[in-house]
Chains A and B, each alone.
Chain A
Amino acid sequence: MSSVFERMLESLRNWNGALDGWIVVAGVLCAAACALVGSFLVLRRMSMMGDAISHAVLPGLAVAFLMTGSRASLPMFMGAAIAGVLTAMFTEWIRGAGKVDEGASMGVVFTALFALGLLLVVQAADHVDLDPGCVLYGAIELTPLDTVRVGGYDIPRVVLTLGTVLVLNLTCVLLLYKELKISSFDPALATTLGINARLMHYLLMTLVALTAVAAFESVGNILVVAMLIVPAATAHLLTDRLSVMIGLAMLLGAVSAVLGHVGAIALPAAFGYESTNTAGMMALMSGLLFALTIVFGPRHGLLSRLRARNS
């Protein structure tokens, strides 16, 4: 047993402040940005919309790759935002047009767009330096390799992108906190008060799309869904106040990111293996925190409910 522990410690002794540090920073920024918008998705019971949009931005990205031949550009973000909003609009439109429920219309729209995106990415991979595997689990480990010089410091490009989106999300949520709150809780009332719930819906969808793009290179197209939904769902079990829930979701996401990278290095080492994929471990850790909350949560947890029933 002690040797297992020693092996884990040994693996972490190679921790490199510059390399691993930046990976953790990217993970934390990504988790925080996702948790901010994810909280509203969870509360609107639209978690699947996060799934749909994060998949559907792929064709937007691919078109931008093909058109500009680069991975870091404003057009890329715009393409993704347009694809995200189109997903939300198509979903609404198909549901309104006929006998297709929201789940099915979402399924139709995002799988079709994702498939189109995948085809385009495979096509683009011949011309642009783009790995289709990145779609699945991102490439957060490559974060420190691609840097931009800002004010005398070499800052990873991914960290800048994620930081920008986090600031954007924070600004929108802080400025439009009460508008987001009321249109999530009671869209009809919001609309009668002059706060257009539909407008807020599309604003949130745009933020989700931008966040999904920023997170794309770090955690990939699929695992971003975990970062959007799981910390927010965990936080919802822990508090009855919206502001606390959003803060907790960001914190839980950040903790998952740190544990994720540490775990990706140390856990396989315990069994004598090489380090594993950080993004996958981040998502796994957020799932673990959720499972712990479901069992040990103070009020909604299984144990406390069992105790309440027996007393």
Chain B
Amino acid sequence: MLTESAIPAATRPGAVPQPSVTVETEGRDHSPDSPLSIHDMTVAYHRKPVLWDVDLDVPPGKLVGIVGPNGAGKSTLIKAVMDLIPRTSGRVRIFGEPYRKQRHRVGYVPQRESVDWDFPVSALDVVTMGRYGRIGWFKPVLRRHREIARHALERVGIADLAHRQISQLSGGQQQRTFLARALVQEADLYLMDEPFAAVDAATEKAIVRLLQDLRSAGKTCLVVHHDLQTVSEYFDHLILLNMRVVAHGPTAEVFTHENLHKTYGGRLTLLSEAAEALGREARRT
């Protein structure tokens, strides 16, 4: 299984970030209708840049995939959009306004490994948390909030596990719990960090159906994804990322060999160089 590497791709030898090729041109004017509009965003950790000059508009009502090698900055991109990581420069607009004014319209599904599953809470508790922002400071959780959470658990097909402590759920069930939690946020834009990571086939199907339901309801979903095989099937739009936006546009147009090579290219070069060197070594002996 691929996991997020701590080393940014560009610090590896051979991985040269490619200049941005944006297929979609009408998105450049940063329309206020765009659920998410990022303008020249750069993000750095300890002065080492992780994302360079990200500039894109996400079209409304679409399922948008983000793909790229480990360390390409996929998680960083969505965290920086939500102000969880400071931006070095650039501007982010959610439906034409800064994030802090629109936070209730943005739903977040973090990576499953980001929380402690031994925490003494049930699946229903976790889903109810999605509602906390709307309940407001100091106010208690009421039965109607839990009813909303129970509904969401039904939608993701695990209502019968509502009272189970979360470490006793399977990986797929944990992921469904996270999705249910995002559903009760009743957002218009969903940012999902690898919802398909290490889930069973049934859960994968359930998630895809849920994403399609959300799209039918006019919601926009930005999904970090790892499996290149299913990209064309799942996503309308695609962002190919490797520290910079390599390409961005309708999947049919940007999901090409050339763009993939540009996105993942560094590593392929490194591998072929190694193979060549081995071949020379073999001929010599």
Chain A residues packing against B (C-beta within 8 Å): 43, 45, 175-179, 181-182, 184-186, 188-195, 236, 239-242, 244-245
Contact = CB atoms under 8 A, between A and B. Distances in A.
Contacts of B108: 188-189, 192
Contacts, number: 78
B129 interface: yes
Given A185-B119, A188-B114, A193-B133, 18 more contacts: A43-B116, A43-B119, A43-B120, A176-B137, A179-B137, A181-B121, A181-B125, A182-B132, A185-B129, A192-B82, A192-B84, A192-B133, A194-B133, A195-B132, A236-B120, A240-B121, A242-B119, A244-B120
B129 A186 contact: yes
Size category of the binding interface on chain B: 20 to 34
Contacts of A241: 120-122
Given A176-B138, A181-B121, A240-B122, A189 B116 contact: no
Contacts of A240: 120-122, 165
Nearest to A175: B138
A34 B121 CA distance: 22
B126 interface: yes
B103 interface: yes
Contact of A188 (B110, B116, B130, B138): B110
Contacts of B1: none
Contacts of B121: 181, 185, 240-242
Contacts of B104: 194
A113 to B, nearest CB: 26
Contact of B119 (A178, A184, A192): A184
A185 B133 contact: no
Interface string B73-106: 0000001001110000000000000000001101
Interface in B104-159: 104, 106, 108, 110, 114-116, 119-122, 125-126, 129-130, 132-133, 135, 137-138, 140-141
A45 B116 contact: yes
Interface of B: 79, 82-84, 103-104, 106, 108, 110, 114-116, 119-122, 125-126, 129-130, 132-133, 135, 137-138, 140-141, 165, 181, 185
B137 A182 contact: no
The 6 closest A-B pairs by CB, nearest first: A193-B133, A240-B165, A242-B120, A192-B108, A182-B129, A194-B133
Nearest to A184: B119
B54 to A, nearest CB: 19
A192 B122 contact: no
B120 A178 contact: no
A139 to B, nearest CB: 35
B249 to A, nearest CB: 28
Contact of A195 (B79, B84, B133, B181): B133
Contacts of A193: 103, 129-130, 132-133, 185
A195 B133 CA distance: 7
